[in-house]
């Protein structure tokens, strides 16, 4: 019962992008350094974030990666679920997958409650708020579309 590396990295990337000035874009290499992700792995994570419309990939000399959505509207839960799919702490909580024991199994409600408690914390954690708490040193070259 552990978060995937991809989801962890995706959250790091989103927080880092959110900590930049609005409209700023960052190269894949800078993001890899900032989020401490192997470049190849980062490419896969960025693909998922772009496909989920959380990140935009800009091409060309002023290209790079930037947020597609204001970070105030993005929670850690959104990012985790973009990578891992809906959180389902146990298979019996999978939507559409009926469990024959569900009607009477006393453990079912425990898994439900545990999942609700977990997702509530992740839902309340705004990417914008987390970005404002970042105190890591900054060294990367940020690109703006108007440069």
Closer to its own copies at the Cβ: 58 or 110?
110
Between CA 47 and CA 94 the distance in angstroms is 25
Shortest separation between residue 88's beta carbon and its own copies, angstroms: 6
Q: Which is nearer to its own copies, 115 or 144 (CB)?
A: 115
DSSP string covering 7-58, please? HHHHHHHHHHHHTSPTT-BB-HHHHHHHHT--HHHHHHHHHHHHHTTSEEEE
Residues lying near its own copies in the complex (CB under 8 A) are found at 1-5, 7-8, 11-12, 15, 36, 76, 80, 84, 87-92, 100-101, 104-107, 110-111, 113-114, 117-118, 120-122, 125, 130-131, 133-136
């Amino acid at each position: 019962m552990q978060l995937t590396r991809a989801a962890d990295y995706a959250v790091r990337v989103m927080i880092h992008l959110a900590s930049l000035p609005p409209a700023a874009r960052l190269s894949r290499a800078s993001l890899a350094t900032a989020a401490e992700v192997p470049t190849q792995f980062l490419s896969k994570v960025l693909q998922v974030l772009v496909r989920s419309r959380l990140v935009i990939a800009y091409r060309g000399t002023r290209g790079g990666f930037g947020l597609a959505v204001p970070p105030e509207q993005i929670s850690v839960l959104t990012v985790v679920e973009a990578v891992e799919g809906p959180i389902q702490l146990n298979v019996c909580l999978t939507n559409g997958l009926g469990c024959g024991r569900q009607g009477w199994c006393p453990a079912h409600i425990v898994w439900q409650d545990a999942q609700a408690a977990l997702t509530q914390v992740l839902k309340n954690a705004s990417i914008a708020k987390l970005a404002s708490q970042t105190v890591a040193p900054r060294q990367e070259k940020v690109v703006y579309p108007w440069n």
